Amino acid sequence: MTYEYNPNDSAHEIPNPYNIENTFLLLSAIVLFSGACWVLYVARSHFAAQNDRAAIAATILALVLFGVALNFIVRAFSHMRFFFGRNFPRVWLTNCYRLQ
């Protein structure tokens, strides 16, 4: 049994299965990032009012929100390799073929 592989043939190309997930992950990251900025603003007002416990709690919450937003961004961009498809990026292909 033989298999003919043609990289220029589009029969084996599939659309990105993570398109909707990436959209929602990036939108969620934007909302979380803006929420973290708002919580830091609230923490600043608590620090100014000498309410240290609330300010520290708000700062910790803001850091957690920033971390979750960063996690969502990294997860969405790790799925971007499906956008490139076969034969892309061409620089990597030329380097791979030179090594063989």
pLDDT in tens, 79-98: 776 555 555 555 655 555 55
Domain-wise residue ranges, the chain: 19-83
- What is the distance between the terminal CA atoms of the chain, rounded to a whole angstrom? 26
pLDDT-based confidence at residue 42 (cuts at 50, 70, 90): very high
> Amino acid letter at 63?
L
Give yes or no for a cis peptide into 7 (omega within 30° of 0): no
pLDDT in tens, 50-78: 999 999 999 999 999 999 999 999 999 88
- The answer on pLDDT for 1 being more than 90 is no
